[in-house]
Amino acid sequence: MSIESLYNTTGTVEKRTKAQNATTGQPADTWANYLVNTPGRLDMARRGLIEVPDDIFAELTHIWFMKYDANIVEHDYRLVIGGNTYTIIIASDAGGAQHHLEIGLKRVV
C-alpha cells in the first residue's frame, strides 16, 4: 500500500513573503502560493503539545502528511485547506527515509 492511497484531501501550502504596505510604506508580511492542490492527509493531533527546536513546547491541533517533494520550513509556511488556515509548527521527514513529510499544524481561529 502506498501512502498516496491514504490521502483524503488537498491543500495549498503558502510561503511568507515581504511587501510594502501601501499606506504606511512599512514592510508587511504577505502570503504567496507555494504548492497548490497538494494531495495529503489531514488528521487530528493525538497529543496537544510537542517539543520543537524553537520553543520549549508548542501546541498542535492537526497533522498533515504529504509526499516528500518540497522544502518546507517552520514559521515561513502555512497550509490552507477548505477555507481553514493552519500555521506550520514543525515539518519533519517521517522516518528519515525521504518518503513523506509529517507536518505538525496549529489551526488559526
Domain ranges of the chain: 3-107
Task: Give the pLDDT of residue 5.
Answer: 83
Say how many CA atoms lie within 13 Å of 78 toward its Cβ.
Answer: 16
Condensed to tens digits (0 to 9), the pLDDT of residues 34-65 reads 999 999 999 998 766 666 566 566 788 999 99
The answer on pLDDT for 84 being more than 90 is: yes
Task: Give the pLDDT of residue 57.
Answer: 67
Higher pLDDT, 56 or 108: 108
The answer on pLDDT for 99 being more than 90 is: no
Superfamily of structural domain 3-107: Protein of unknown function DUF3599 (2.40.10.370)
Higher pLDDT, 23 or 2: 23
Which sign, positive or negative, has the C-alpha torsion 35, 39, 42, 47? Answer: negative
Which grid cell is 45?
A: 493531533
pTM: 0.81
